[in-house]
Structures are given as structure tokens and as C-alpha cells.
Amino acid sequence: MAVINHDTREVSFKLVYCGTPMGGKTTNLSYIHSRIGADQRGDLVALATANDRTLFFDFLPVHTMVINGYKTKFMLYTVPGQVCYNATRQMVLRGVDGVVFVADSQLDRMEENLTAWRGMIRNLADNGTPFEQLPAILQFNKRDLPDPAPVAYMEYLLNSGPRRLPVFEAAAATGYNVFATLNGLAQDVLHLFHHGTARGATASQSVSA
Ligand SMILES: Nc1nc2c(ncn2[C@@H]2O[C@H](COP(=O)(O)OP(=O)(O)OP(=O)(O)O)[C@@H](O)[C@H]2O)c(=O)[nH]1
Ligand SMILES: [Mg+2]
């Protein structure tokens, strides 16, 4: 839920990168961190195990434009992908304003994609944040690897329900479509905030590298 601070004239939104274990959630944040000037962001806090799996969450604050005299901040989080950390995932999702679901395009990861997808929707429901009303983007990551799953197949698995989400094919490791994904979500979140309705119209603001 957006937090408005009238004293500092700031409004901040919480965006959470969910998705398949090892799908590339942390890599998205690392790339964003590496491409935004230090004056536009805070430090990247990455709490990882010795083998670079996210242990608790990653956190990166990004400062963007001033709207109506208020500075806008996006607080980017990732959840830990490992199955055993479901309670942490649910906690990180509390008060979320929008989600990116990072799916892994490798064909042998489709079952994990579906399990993580269903888990995210369940966690949101358990938090009292119905997925249907939440700005959300699907990112099909690792498109740079050989023989990725066809987009149509991934859409069939993850995006054939009543609600069709915007999809970005991406390669977070090289940065391909990382900012497009973030901007897509940021625009939806701002649209909802300003107009009180979910996606549809376009917003002109964007976060740029
Ligand atoms: N080839 C390729 N590798 C990627 C891409 N994105 C991430 N990876 C690799 O996939 C592995 C896992 O990436 P992470 O960003 O740690 O994945 P994660 O989703 O944060 O993982 P957990 O937090 O453990 O769930 C790392 O070795 C990354 O370098 C991509 O677009 N292409
Ligand atoms: Mg991670």
C-alpha cells in the first residue's frame, strides 16, 4: 500500500519481484542497481546464503520523479525462491503495491514456474491482497539460453486465466527488458494510485537507466 509522507513530501510504493526459484529475481535488482546513478537510488541490500540464494529478501530503493510536488520512491524487493521459505515470501508480500513474476524460460522449469505462481497467488490471498486487483507483470526470463520454452506455451501455463497480464521476454543477466519490466509495473502502479483503477491508460513517467 502506498505510503505518503506529507512532512518529507514523499510517496513510496512497494514493488516485489516474485517467481521461480533461481529464475533471476535478484539478477533483475542487481542490474537495476548497476545502471541507475547513485543519486537516484539507495544501496542494494542483498541477504544471501553462501551460494548466492536469497535467504530473506533483497531490497533496493529507487527515487524517481516529482509529481505534484511529491517525490516518488519505488521500494524494490525480491522474495527468496527456495520452497522452504514460504513464510518469508508471504511476509515480504505484505503491503505490496505491485508484483513482477519472474518465470524461468528453460523448458524443464515449467513445473517450478507453475508452483511458484500458485504459491504467490495463495500468499497474496492469505495477506488479504487479492491478486485480481493488484498491478502485476509477467517476465519470461532467461530468453538468452538455447531452446527457451515457446512464449505461447508459457502464456498458456501462466497467463490464460480471466486476467491477462502484460508479458516481457527478458534476459536479466544481460539487462534485456529489465527496465521495460520495471517501467511497465511502475506505470500500472501509478495509474492505479492516481486514477483508482487498475491498468488500461498509459502513464508518461518512467524510470530510466
Ligand atoms: N543465462 C541467464 N542466466 C540468468 C539470467 N538471469 C539470472 N540468471 C542466472 O540464474 C541464476 C539465479 O539467478 P538469481 O537472480 O540469483 O535468481 P533468484 O530468482 O533470485 O534465486 P532465489 O533467490 O534463490 O530464488 C544465477 O546464476 C544468474 O546468473 C538470464 O537472463 N540469463
Ligand atoms: Mg534471489
Does residue 2 sit within a domain? no
Q: Distance from the CA of 119 to the center of ligand 2, in angstroms?
A: 16
Q: Is residue 203 part of a domain?
A: no
**CATH number, residue 62:** 3.40.50.300
- Give the per-residue pLDDT at 134: 96
Phi-psi region of 13 (alpha: psi -120 to 50; beta: other; left: phi over 0): beta
* Residue 91 lies inside a defined structural domain of this protein: yes
pLDDT digits 0-9 by tens, 76-104: 999 998 888 899 999 999 999 999 999 99
| 200 falls within a domain | no
pTM listed for this prediction: 0.93
Which residue among 16, 17, 20, 22 has the greatest number of ligand 1 atoms within 8 angstroms of its CB, and so is best to mutate?
22
SS (H, E, C) 62-119: EEEEEECCEEEEEEEEECCCCHHHHHHHHHHCCCCCEEEEEEECEHHHHHHHHHHHHH
CA distances in angstroms from 171 to 84, 105, 141, 194, listed in the order given: 26, 10, 5, 31
Closest Cα to atom 25, ligand 1: which residue?
81
Does residue 141 lie in a domain region? yes
pLDDT of residue 139: 98
Give the total number of structural domains in the chain.
Answer: 1
- Ligand nearest to the backbone CA of 32: 1
Q: Is the CB of 173 under 6 A from ligand 1?
A: yes
Which ranges of the chain have pLDDT less than 70? 197-209
- Domain of 112 in residue numbering reads as 10-195
Around ion ligand 2, residues with a beta carbon closer than 5 Å are: 25-26, 54
Residues 2, 11: Cα–Cα separation, whole Å: 7
- Residue of 172, 132, 185, 183 whose CA lies nearest to 15: 185
| Cα–Cα distance, 149 to 23 (Å, whole number) | 14
**126 found inside a domain:** yes
Whole-number pLDDT of residue 90 = 95
What is the reported pLDDT for 105?
98
